């Protein structure tokens, strides 16, 4: 695995992507070959988040700075909200940062279509569109549209683990990435590696403790998985917790469900789901402030590593 020119870590800021990054360092991949890539779910066009944790982009930025590796952000213009509100419109352009500090843009000229509903929980990424349109397609577009990846070899690393679901357990550990073009004129070789597919959760926490890396604040609040704060896979307790932390965001989503005439959970509206749940007792004002701040000011490294409250808890992810 040491033969590639560039190593791109799909870096959400969660424990599994962090474990992938730390694993690269532990097996001897030179830091100068590693890049962290973070997809901004809510885009850059609004000064407020809609779905995500406020602290996540800056937490990722601070991780990159602490380790001395570059981080590049990419996003769908207008983010989650614009894509969801699409009404007889083409999907928005994809934007991505370049090494020279500029931002490039591609796409946004497709066939007009209408969504006006939250992503639905299913394995079909056309219906669970948040993963495809805001993450997978964004990353692939950013690779395909940068000449620096032509006539070169790139390894894209992602943190799917088989312990999370039977479907993920069947993912290939190594395969050509969707951005691959090794047989084309541009000779763009891109592989996908899932180094922790067969890891147990304990191994993930072990590598973070071994490297004394402080996990994302959401884990200390009680979340077992770091995705969006209002992730569509969340259960009643997670939504009760998210509503307690960010009631205005929650009410915004309740009103959108009414406007769409279609709920996020199909058989149950968010107000009902919230009321059925119990907020995590492990939430405290200090860590809530950290998680909901757009600036992450805690240190990335800690000499007093503590297993977060959300470890081995309710992950509530894809099945």
Closest CA to 157 of 39, 32, 34: 34
**If you average pLDDT over every residue of the chain, what do you get?**
96
**Domains in the chain with CATH codes:** 6-217 (3.40.50.620)
pLDDT per position as a tens digit, 81-108: 999 999 999 999 999 999 999 999 999 9
Angle at Cα 188 formed by Cα 197 and Cα 111, nearest 5°?
Answer: 85
Contacts for 101 with CB less than 8 Å, ≥ 6 apart: none
Min mean pLDDT across 136-140, 167-171, 194-198 is at 167-171
Return the structure tokens found at 190.
Answer: 């891109």
pLDDT (average), residues 203-226: 97
Neighbours of 31 (CB within 10 A): 12
User: pLDDT band for position 319 (50/70/90)?
Assistant: low
pLDDT given for residue 237 in this prediction: 97
pLDDT (average), residues 115-124: 91
pLDDT for 1 beyond 90: no
User: pLDDT band for position 167 (50/70/90)?
Assistant: confident
- Predicted model pTM: 0.96
| Segments in the chain forming alpha helices (H) | 15-26, 56-67, 79-84, 129-131, 137-144, 166-169, 201-210, 217-221, 236-245, 247-260, 270-276, 285-291
């Amino acid at each position: 695995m040491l033969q590639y020119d560039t190593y791109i870590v799909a870096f959400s800021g969660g424990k599994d992507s962090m474990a992938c990054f730390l694993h690269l360092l532990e097996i001897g991949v030179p830091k100068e070959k590693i890049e962290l890539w973070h997809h901004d779910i809510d885009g850059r066009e609004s000064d407020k988040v809609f779905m995500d944790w406020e602290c996540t982009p800056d937490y990722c930025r601070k991780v990159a700075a602490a380790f001395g590796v570059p981080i590049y952000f990419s996003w769908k213009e207008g983010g989650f909200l614009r894509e969801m509100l699409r009404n007889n419109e083409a999907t928005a352009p994809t934007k991505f940062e370049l090494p020279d500090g500029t931002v490039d843009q591609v796409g946004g000229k497709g066939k007009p279509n209408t969504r006006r509903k939250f992503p639905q929980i299913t394995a079909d990424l056309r219906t669970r569109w948040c993963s495809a349109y805001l993450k997978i397609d964004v990353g692939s577009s950013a690779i395909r549209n940068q000449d620096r990846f032509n006539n070169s070899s790139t390894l894209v690393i992602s943190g799917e683990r088989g312990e999370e679901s039977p479907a993920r357990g069947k993912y290939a550990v190594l395969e050509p990435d969707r951005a691959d073009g090794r047989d084309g004129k541009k000779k763009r070789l891109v592989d996908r590696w899932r180094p922790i597919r067969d890891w147990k959760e304990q191994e993930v926490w072990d590598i973070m403790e071994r490297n004394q890396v402080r996990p994302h604040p959401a884990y200390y609040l009680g979340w077992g998985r770091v995705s969006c704060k209002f992730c569509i896979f969340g259960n009643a307790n997670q939504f009760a917790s998210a509503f307690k932390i960010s009631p205005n965001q929650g009410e915004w989503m309740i009103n959108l469900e009414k406007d769409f005439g279609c709920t996020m959970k199909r058989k149950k509206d968010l107000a009902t789901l919230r009321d059925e749940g119990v907020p995590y007792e492990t939430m405290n004002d200090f860590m809530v402030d950290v998680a909901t701040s757009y600036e992450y000011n805690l240190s990335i490294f800690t000499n007093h590593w503590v297993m977060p409250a959300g470890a081995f808890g309710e992950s509530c992810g894809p099945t």
